[in-house]
Structure 1
């Protein structure tokens, strides 16, 4: 059954085309954060191991919310590694050392990349789909989350 939420099918497809790469980015960031959690080494191991666990746990919720936003507007969420690798803006840069600073720098770059994509997406949605308050609100709250994470990761690097 088609959704009847005041947004036309053509527009919900265009919005899904914005949300799907975001979902892929969140999933790739989740996996990279899990990698950091599993493989970090060094004198600050315990503290950053616990910190990375906190981050990937938060990302699990974000992934679910991104997929559910796509479903709320009447489309199916991408859910395969093949789709995510095709859609993501992030890359799997090889970490030279398994120390916390290397992982933090890499994760910071990813959060900042997502922030830029969110700003671009918010601008597009506000211009073309100004009546989609749900997606706009969702993206705004997600932007605030990633800005906070970027600030915290950046603070580790000072």
Structure 2
């Protein structure tokens, strides 16, 4: 393969990719949590939450692919193991099956954490003049901010 020459220096590409790896790990962990909750939600809001969680994990499945491919575009290998994700993620693993209300709370916090991770990556991408990563991360922030809002709205009575 020929050497990469996309106008972003090797140091900047590495720095940006490291942030994207954390974003990938957070997104994948959130995907797993959302899918887990989709399978196990119960209660009066079952149908609404079951469908909402399905929409969310489907969107996240596409997102992890986009993020991993951006990492590869920067000529860095993307992590793809549970072990790697566990060390990179900022989102706590949930082992028990929480109540539906707690699921909404956990997922809200998860989406908010992804927004925080996006903000860190955004700064690195802006500093490295990587407009493609800026666009990707900006789009991800919008999705997670909106999803967190929708989850918060679901939990209000």
Identify the TM-score tier after normalising by the shorter chain.
Answer: over 0.9
TM-score (norm 2): 0.93
After TM superposition, which residue ranges in structure 1, 4 or more long, deviate above 4 angstroms? Answer: none
Q: Does 1:73 pair with 2:71? A: no
TM-score (norm 1): 0.92
Deviation at 1:125, TM superposition (A): 2.7
In 2, Cα distance between equivalents of 1:14 and 1:5: 15
Deviation at 1:93, TM superposition (A): 3.8
Q: Which residue of 1 aligns with 2:111?
A: 111
Q: Which residue of 2 aligns with 1:52?
A: 53
Kept after mapping to 1: 8 A contact 2:29/2:91: yes
Q: Which residue of 1 aligns with 2:32?
A: 31
Q: Deviations over 1:48-72 (max 9, x none)?
A: 1111111100000000000011011
Count of matched residue positions in the alignment of Structure 1 and Structure 2: 155
SS at match of 2:92: coil
Q: Which residue of 1 aligns with 2:41?
A: 40
SS at match of 2:80: coil
Gaps of 5+ in 1: none
SS at match of 1:43: coil
Kept after mapping to 2: 8 A contact 1:115/1:147: yes
Deviation at 1:120, TM superposition (A): 2.5
In 1, Cα distance between equivalents of 2:32 and 2:117: 19
Kept after mapping to 1: 8 A contact 2:8/2:130: yes
Q: Does 1:149 pair with 2:147? A: yes
In 1, Cα distance between equivalents of 2:14 and 2:149: 33
Kept after mapping to 2: 8 A contact 1:26/1:62: yes
